[in-house]
Amino acid sequence: MPELPEVETIRRDLAPELEGHRITAVRVHHDDIIIGTLSGAEFRDRIEGRRILGVDRRAKWLLLRLDDGILVTQLRMTGRFAVGRGSVPPVADFRHVAAEFDLDDGRTLFYDDMRRLGGFLLLSESEWSREESRFGPEPLNDGFRASDLGQALRHGRAPVKNALMDQSRVAGVGNIYASEALHGARIDPTRPVSGLTDEEIRRLHRSLRRILKSSLDSSGTTFRDYRAVNGRSGSFQTLLRVYDREGDPCTNCGQVIRRIVQAGRSTYYCPGCQL
């Protein structure tokens, strides 16, 4: 479901709700959302009593920093959070609640995941730092320059669209923003990374950062499953130029937007201005 702007939006919503609070009880309704070797009961026993010190993000992962360990969560396609009082989630369409975390002030954090592709992982600092080292640089970090993008992207022969979505090259970019960033940079998504010029890398760097920031300002893109916390919608879908717009005219040049499939995922692009 969510990419960098969506996960960061959720982080910003969750942090003030959770920070400083102790988790008093955990209920796991589907063991398959506990990633790794712990059973639901073992997971519960190790989380209950822990205090949440802070909420961070890396790539598309959320980190609940506990007073003992890090509760890592990945939302994949349909994971969502809500915080409310009482036994019923505050959002009507939470029909697939997979886990609940009671807080020390009587509120509950609900995790809903229709497809149950997302889930939770309890790690130590060192386990997390090993996981984390597989990710490429954060594209919105201040120090992320065009040369860093070039270094991350310009090896191998992968199509640039696939390379952008490769989390070990650049962190946090998924299917929507890969298409949008390439359109903004006027680069054909099928181009092999090895052939990209310095000028194209500079355009892609500017385009990627502009689009991710702009989406973050809009609280992300909601046209399907994604919601921020407690059902709040994003609005960047109104600003998408190519994604899910097959058959529409390009806002740059008027040619008809096309959809192709790369690595099993839809890519949208304009054959007129993306060369």
Partner DNA sequence: CTTGTACCCTGACCGC
Partner DNA sequence: TGCGGTCAGGGTACAA
| Site of interaction with DNA (CB under 7 A) | 1-3, 6, 32, 59-61, 74, 76-77, 95-96, 114-117, 155-159, 162-163, 165, 167, 174-176, 193, 220-226, 261, 263-266
Is the CB of 60 or the CB of 65 nearer to DNA?
60
For residue 213, indicate whether it is catalytic. Answer: no
Q: Which two tokens stand for residue 246?
A: 């097959």
The amino acid sitting at 160 is V
Active-site residue (options: 48, 159, 265, 271) = 265
Is the CB of 24 or the CB of 266 nearer to DNA?
266
Min CB(234)–DNA separation in Å: 7
Is the CB of 167 or the CB of 252 nearer to DNA?
167
Buried b vs exposed e over 157-173: b needs ≥16 C-beta within 10 Å? ebbbbbbbbbeebbbbb
Min CB(246)–DNA separation in Å: 10
Min CB(35)–DNA separation in Å: 8
CA–CA gap between residue 49 and residue 238 (Å, rounded): 43
Min CB(266)–DNA separation in Å: 3
Min CB(203)–DNA separation in Å: 21
In sequence order, the β-bridge partners of residue 240 are: none
The amino acid sitting at 41 is A
For residue 3, indicate whether it is catalytic. Answer: yes
Distance in Å from the first CA to the final CA of the chain: 29
Is the CB of 25 or the CB of 77 nearer to DNA?
77
Is the CB of 101 or the CB of 226 nearer to DNA?
226
Looking at the chain, the number of H-run helices and the number of E-run strands are: 7, 10
CA–CA gap between residue 232 and residue 192 (Å, rounded): 38
Active-site residue (options: 2, 5, 89, 139) = 2
CA–CA gap between residue 48 and residue 125 (Å, rounded): 19
Name the one residue in this structure whose structure tokens are 């689009």: 211
Active-site residue (options: 50, 60, 80, 186) = 60
What amino acid positions are annotated as catalytic residues? Answer: 2-3, 60, 265
